[in-house]
């Protein structure tokens, strides 16, 4: 298994780097957008959204948690994590909705896809994280890909 994976990595590195590029662009876009918003504005927007959808108590918890993150100095890391989550969300929706519609309309596709998707969700993420990191390199993109695999 290791020899085969090493051969794939050695011979198909340009292919995997080209697959990685759109993920990197989306990650950078979300990262730039989130890092450019002042923390106070982000806290106000998140607080208002939480108040609208969850009420005063939820808004208080969200605002308190965001203020705490700013005070302990992890705001930039939180925005990076949020950009990874948003990128994963966009990719999972772009893949999941068409695949779901296709599987709903075709019994043959459903029969093939169902065990694959069930297997992908029952296998722990760290099991397929290692080959993904070997194929795409170390960084945020493998995290996005593994999250999308689990989400779809």
Report pLDDT digits (tens) over 51-80: 999 999 999 999 999 999 999 999 999 999
Q: Is the pLDDT of residue 123 over 90?
A: no
- Contact between 97 and 150 under an 8 Å Cβ cutoff? The reply is no
For helices 2-36 and 75-105, angle between their N-to-C axes, nearest 10 degrees: 120
Per-residue pLDDT at 133? 85
Which of 34-48, 85-99, 114-128 is predicted with the least confidence, judged by mean pLDDT? 114-128
Per-residue pLDDT at 37? 93
Neighbour-count burial for 33-45, b at 16+ CB within 10 Å, e otherwise: ebeeeeeeebbee
Supply the pTM of this predicted model.
0.82
- Closest among 75, 49, 81 to 62, alpha carbons compared: 49
Which of 64-68, 97-101, 119-123 is predicted with the least confidence, judged by mean pLDDT? 119-123
Q: Is the pLDDT of residue 1 over 80?
A: no
> How much is the average pLDDT of 20-32?
92
């Amino acid at each position: 298994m290791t020899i085969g994976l090493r051969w794939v990595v050695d011979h198909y590195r340009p292919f995997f780097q080209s697959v990685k590029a759109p993920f990197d662009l989306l990650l950078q876009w979300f990262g730039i957008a989130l890092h450019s918003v002042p923390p106070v504005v982000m806290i106000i927007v998140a607080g208002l959204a939480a108040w609208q959808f969850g009420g005063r108590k939820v808004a208080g918890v969200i605002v308190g948690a965001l203020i705490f993150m700013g005070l302990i100095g992890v705001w930039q890391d939180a925005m990076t994590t949020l950009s990874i989550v948003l990128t994963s969300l966009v990719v999972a929706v772009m893949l999941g909705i068409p695949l779901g519609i296709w599987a709903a309309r075709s019994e043959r596709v459903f029969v093939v896809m169902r065990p694959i998707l069930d297997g992908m969700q029952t296998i722990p993420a760290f099991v397929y994280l290692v080959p993904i990191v070997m194929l795409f390199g170390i960084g945020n993109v493998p995290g996005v890909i593994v999250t999308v695999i689990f989400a779809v």
